[in-house]
Structures are given as structure tokens and as C-alpha cells.
Amino acid sequence: MYRGHALIQQPIEAFFQTTKHHCLFHCVQRSCVAFNYDNDNQLCEIHIGFESDCSIEATATKTYYFSDGFAPSDCLPLPVSCSEISSRGVTQDGLYEILPPTYSTPLQVYCEDLVDGGWVRIQRREDGSIDFYRNWAEYKSGFGSVSGEHWLGNEHIHALTNGSTPTKLKIKLTYFNTNEYEAMYTNFTVGDEASLYTVNALGYSGNAGDCFGGWLASPAEATNGYPFSTQDSDNDDAVTNSCATLFTGPWWYNACAMCSLNGRYPTGGTCPVSDSDCMWYEHISLSLPIKFSTMLIQ
């Protein structure tokens, strides 16, 4: 404990109107290395790792607490991935900062399934609160809130899927009838902008159907090796229309595809077969839309 001092680094989580003991509880839940507590305004600041150093500064009202076996000289760098956060013993899913190898500044992500090795959430649909019918620039940089509906951004997805080891992709789908499906890929990559963010997802397993490989054995449905398309950047092989416009959602299209997780969110839990705005043409019942979708990488 360092009374009258506080860590300078940006905390992973901060909240007001709490007690020191409540702050400690949150710290333990997050498997943190340290926390600051401000007695005057009851501010709690939690740290699980550090961007560069463990520098502390003098302050009149804060006290710096560190976990057993940890001291200011024992700096833990920011984790490079959700998997590293999981390897540190953290089990609570939530918002975290990571510092991937090619990044100079931290990236805030939602880490999911930390008990299963830790996965970075790159896409989430849950209630239709965010419009996914957006342009190329918005899909490049990302949009939405990483704790809710969002697209992490094609630049980030490219950077996170082109490391020294293969990246896994996990897709979770929950339908309005509560049925759940999953698709797993052992090797997932997204190219850079020069390649138009071309996708490759190989090594499929699961019960959702192989969206990228094309589960109905039609060459026009497989999207592996195809670029990303938006309504203002049509890169598909369809001759008479734009797939991103037809499906009301940017995605990786051939001449179109059997899935589009970024399509218009279905309202009322219904989606007629003739409605091209459905986000996914499910392999059992084409008329059944998805309520929740999550794309995760590891």
C-alpha cells in the first residue's frame, strides 16, 4: 500500500460511489495487479497490466494498493490478447485493453469465454439498436460499442488475424426460437485494405453450417477468397446487382452468399423466405431469423 500515491497508467475500469472494500472485491474479480482508491470522491481505479511502466505519482487523496507478490517494480505489460488475459487467471468476461504486437496504443475489446482460453469479440448483434448498413470507411474503422452491438473494424480484424500463428474464428448464433448453433474455423484471416479485406476461413466444424465454404455445394455461395463489399464499394461477382445492397448489409460476398451477419436486424422475430434483408439463411429453416450473433477470434 502506498498512501498519498497513485498509479499514473490508464485504468482498465473506474467507477465512483464505492467503498475501498468494494473496490478490492472488483479487483479480485478481475484478477487485477493493483488499484487506486480516492477517499474524497470514492473513486476506484483498477489495473490488470501496464502499457509501459508502473510509475506512481504523489496525490493528496488517493491510496495505491497492489496485490500480494506484486510491487511497483514488477511491471506487467498490457496483455497482447484476450488469451493472455485468460492465461493470467482472469475469468470474468468484459471490457479490457490489449496491446497487440503491431500496435503502439492500446485497443479496447470485449473479451469473451475467458474460461475457454479467451476470445476477442469482433462482431455482436443483439437487439437492432445499431444500424449495420454502413459504408466502407465505417467498416474499416469499426462502429458501435464493444460491450454491445458493434463491428470491431476491418483494419483491426486484419491486424489481429495475421500474426505468427493461425487465428481461430468462432461464430455463435441464437435464433428467436432459442435454438443455438455454432461454427468454428481453425484458420481465419482477413487481408489488408489493398486486398479489399479478402477473407479466408478454413477448417470448419460445428452445427451452424459452413457459411464461408458454402454448405449447399454451390460455387456462387462459397465466399472464401472473396473481398468485403459495402453499398459504396461493390466488390462481389454478382452481375446484375450489389449483394451488399440486396442483403442490406456489408459482408464478404461471392455472387451473393448463404449468410450475411450484418444484414438488417429482423423485427418481430419473423423473416419471410422472400425477404432478402435476413441476416442469415439458416440451414434448416430459411424463414427463421437470428436474434443474437457473435463473432469471436482467438
For the segment 94-103, what is each residue's pLDDT rounded down to a tens digit? 988 898 999 9
**Is the whole model's pTM more than 0.85, yes or no?**
no
Model confidence pLDDT, tens digit, residues 108-162: 999 999 999 999 999 999 999 999 999 999 999 999 999 999 999 999 999 999 9
Q: What is the mean pLDDT of the chain?
A: 84
276-283 — which CB contacts under 8 Å span 24+ positions? 276/246, 276/247, 276/248, 277/247, 277/248, 277/249, 279/125, 279/249, 280/173, 280/211, 282/173, 282/175, 282/181, 282/209, 283/208, 283/209, 283/215, 283/258
Distance between CA atoms of residues 114 and 246, nearest Å: 37
**pLDDT tens-digit series, residues 208-267:** 888 888 765 566 678 899 999 999 999 999 888 899 998 889 999 998 887 889 988 887
What DSSP element (H or E) covers 14?
Answer: strand 13-15
d(CA 107, CA 265): 27
β-strands 107-112, 34-38: how paired? unpaired
d(CA 234, CA 256): 11
List the grid coordinates of 298.
482467438
Convert 229-252 to b/e letters by CB count within 10 Å (16 or more is b).
Answer: bbbebebbebeeebbbbbbbbbbb
